[in-house]
Each structure stands twice: as C-alpha cells, then as structure tokens.
Chains A and B, each alone.
Chain A
Amino acid sequence: MSPVVRATGVRMSYGDVQVLNGVDFEVAAGEVSCVIGPSGSGKSTFLRCVNGLEPVLGGSLRVLGEEVGHSLRDGRYHPWSPKEYAAFRKNIGMVFQRFNLFAHHSAMDNVACGPVHVLGTSKDKANALAMELLDRVGLADHAHKRPHQLSGGQQQRVAIARALAMNPALMLFDEPTSALDPELVDEVLEVMRGLAADGMTMVVVTHEIAFAREVGDRLTFFADGVVVERGHPAELLANPAHERTKAFLSSVRGPGG
C-alpha cells in the first residue's frame, strides 16, 4: 500500500527566507507520526504544506495519492484551482494551535458546518452527526455554547470533532496543546489517544514528548528546515544519533529529564 504522505526534497520559502530545505518524510496508513523540533524549524510550515495551506516550491509532496497543488495533464503539471484545493482538503482534517473555531457558530454548528456547506449533507443529518461527535469528545452538554463560552481545552476538542465530521482519511495536528493552560492539556491528548486507538492516520506536531513516546508509531525530529532524524519514538528518545537532537531533547526535558 502506498503511503498516505510521501515528501521527497520538499522546499518552501517566505520570500528570501528558506523555511524548508528539502524535507523527506513518510506516513503510512493508520500510523501516528509525531513531529518535534525547535520553533522555527519548519515543522508547522511542513504540516501546512501537507494540506496545501502553504505552497510547496520545490521537491515532491504526494498526499493521498495526489501531488499537492498540481495535477498532471497532457504531460504537464497544472496548478490547482481554488476548487481543486477545496476538493483535496475535504479528506484531510486539520487542528490548529489556536483552535480557530468559527466565532459566530455554536459548538454544534461548528461541527455541522463542514458536512452542511462542503458535503451538502442535510441540516438534520449533520446535526445528528455533530451531536454524536461532540459526545465522543465529551462535550454533548456544551453543544449550544459559543466558542467564547468554552475553555481552551473544550474549544480544542470541538475543533477535533469539527475535523472528524468530514470523515477524513488523514488528520493533521499543529501543536494542538501549545495554547492551552497546563491542566487542560490532558483532556485534549485523551481525545487524540482515542483517535489513535481507532486507527486514524495522524501527523502530530507537538511539544508533548510523553505523548509522542506513548502514542506515536514514529517520531521525526525537525531542525533548520530539514528532517534531522526519524525513528521509533522510544528508541529515538533514548538514543538520539545527532547532537542537534540531543541538545533539543535535553532543553525540553530540563535537568534530569
């Protein structure tokens, strides 16, 4: 079976600033792939490239069997239209660091929004699905609250339910717990553990080393726009091969970590 994500030599820059310097990366179906690295290492940018929020400027990035941003016709690659981007993103869920719930919608409408406006599901069906998913993330009682009435952890769980409502083949998490108060981190990680257990293919950019070790099937360390090393989480964390990885791990673990 071909991998869900396969990046070879992916490059990306903001103007003159090179952000990705040739990233090689792979995610197999059903795999939970965690990505760690210092800030500015390009890990979030890479994640945003995977669903086309940022353009790939060099190399090849194949996601769900498609070259992201281009389709091959008549022997040439044609850039995608906004419609083609939209059709591609339908199958990929994304969870943002700052939740980005739709501020004018209730929790339920946030979850039902994708099915109703993108898939054309009927309002009743979408609401039923939304309630089911909110129940799954433990928020059925809060279905009618607006985002500003929910805590950060609750908002992030609604955001996960919103992404799941599209029944995605791949879920992307962009530092999902970094904007949360420490005591709210666990409730979100718990939901993600559940997803992993259900066999969802996930790419998780995170600073939660413990989560990566416990739940991840594979761990990737990013620095300076490239993948420094990849491996099984427990092994990589115990015996990092590169100095850069060692330095990063000791800085996030603190003394004695």
Chain B
Amino acid sequence: MRTEPIAGPSGTMIPVARTRHWGRTLSAVAALAIFGWLLFLLVVNPRLDWGAVATYLFNERILAGVWVTIELSVLATILGLVLGVLIAVMRLAHNPVLTRLATLYIWFFRGTPVLVQLIFWYNLAFLFPALVIKIPFTSIGLMWDTNQVMTGFTAAMLGLGLNLAAYFAETVRAGIQAVDQGQTEAAYALGMTPARRMRVIVLPQALRIIIPPTGNEFISMLKTTSLVYVVAGHDLMTNASQIYKSNNMIMELLIVASFWYLLLTTVATFLQGRLERRFGSDAVRLVRRGGVAAKVLPKVPA
C-alpha cells in the first residue's frame, strides 16, 4: 500500500491517509478474546496440576515411549513403503492373477479399520499357537512361540505397515501411471527391457509424484501409532495411559503426550517441506546410487 506522499494540484506534497479496516480489527479482537478466555480457563484451572505436567514431560517412561513411537513409525512406514511398491507393481503387472490379488489386498486393508487389524495381529496366537518354518513332511526347521514373537510392538508394526502398504500402493500406481507413455516407448525403442525401463526411466520420474505424499503418510503414522495402546505396544500413548491409570492424572498426561506428538509432527513437517522442495523443482536422483536420506534431505535446490 502506498505511504509515499503525492504531489497535489498546487505542487505541494500531500500525505496519503492510512485506510482503517474496522471489520478486520473487530473480528481479530473478538477471536483473540474467545481464544484467550478458553486458554485462561485451562491454564488457571485449579484441578489441573501444571507441576505434574512439567515433572512427567521428561519422565523416563514417557521418553522411552517417545522413542518407541519414533521407532514404530519409522519401521511401519518402511514396511508400508516397500510392500506398497511391491503391491503397486503387482497391480500393474500383465499377470491377471497378480493384479487381482493386489486389488484384493488393497480392498481388504483399506476396508477394515486399522484398530481391528492391530488387535488381530496381537491375538494371532489364537489361530496359530506356534510359527513354524520347516521343510514339509519332515521335522527339520525352525519354530517360535507365537505369543513371544507377536509382542505388542511387532503386532503394531505389522498392523500399521500392512495397512499403510494398501494406501501407499495406490499412490505408487498413480505415480507410475502419470509418467507419459511416450517415455516408455522411447525406452523400448532404445532397446531397454520392461524391467530396465521401469527402473531407469519410469520410476525416477514417478518418484517426483510419489515422494511428497510419503511425508504425509509418515506424519499421519506418528499419530496413528497411538492406537497401539490397545495392544500395549509401550509407545508414548501406552505409557502415558499406564501412568494415568495408576495416578488418575488423566489430563496432565494427555497434555504431556500431546506435547510430544506435536513436537514430532512439527519436526516431521519441517523435513517434509524440504523433501517437497527437493522434488518439486529439479528432480530425482533417488534410484541412483547413494542413500535416500543423505541425497534427499541436506540439499535444498536453488
């Protein structure tokens, strides 16, 4: 907006009056008042023990829970991404059986609540008391007790990972299909096999479309891991709930948990922003040599 004076008809400089936005000011004051009042109610609430919040913020079990939440999110996301690419490739294969199976997988895992899937994996022992890998009709092989393998952590990782795979497969499929058919034809015309064309030409271009949503998936996964508390996965939410069940400081511990979730998602959102800038403009060196994170994260394009 102009603040520099304007020469008037007589040649003297006349200042420009500042426009007052009364409507804006009024609505801002009203919104601030309501927000401040709600915050005030919370902060001065005599039933809320802020001292306990501060104490529990860096409680050992809480910190251990934060760590498990990070681990679980990373592992489940990796499982989901790898399996998702596999299912997407199956889905796009020329083999009608593979295509149908991939569709069935996606339909099933997207159609059932992740909570149900978590409880299912946790209770796998009801169906298979022992997990056995052996040569058929012999007794040579390995055997594990299902209850020992299917801890809350593994059940959670499997449940979340398999679920994410179903969603991610659709993202990958869309990314692959978005690459122009002409790229494939040019690759074939040079004498590439379908597999090489996929790896050298199509996937690097599809990644540009696929990568940004993976950030979203990870952020969403950080929060979804809180469902794990139903199978006692020792994540942040599980540990917070165990503490409040013993001392009844429900609100205090929910505030503590929220603090950590907010911190994790904020950091993840920041990293995702860099990821998107990296892939939004100039493209993709991902499938070539070098670690993904090392290549993707530190470099911000000009």
Contact = CB atoms under 8 A, between A and B. Distances in A.
Interface residues of B, number: 22
Nearest to B285: A104
B183 A100 contact: yes
Contacts of A92: 189
Contacts of A162: 186, 190
A83 B193 contact: yes
B13 to A, nearest CB: 48
B191 interface: yes
A146 B205 CA distance: 13
Highest count of chain A CB atoms <10 Å: which of B193, B194, B201:
B193
Given A53-B185, A100-B183, A166 B191 contact: yes
Interface string B240-279: 0000000000000000000000000000000000000000
Contacts of B282: 146
Interface string A94-123: 101010111110000000011001100000
A51 B189 contact: yes
A89 B201 contact: no
Given A82-B193, A113-B200, A89 B185 contact: no
Contacts of B201: 102
A167 to B, nearest CB: 11
B208 to A, nearest CB: 8
A88 to B, nearest CB: 8
Contacts of B193: 82-83, 86
Nearest to B194: A82
Interface of A: 51, 53, 82-83, 85-94, 96, 98, 100-104, 113-114, 117-118, 146, 159, 162-163, 166
Interface of B: 180, 182-183, 185-194, 196, 200-201, 204-205, 208, 282-284
Given A113-B190, A114-B190, A162-B190, 7 more contacts: A86-B193, A87-B191, A94-B189, A96-B182, A102-B183, A102-B187, A117-B196
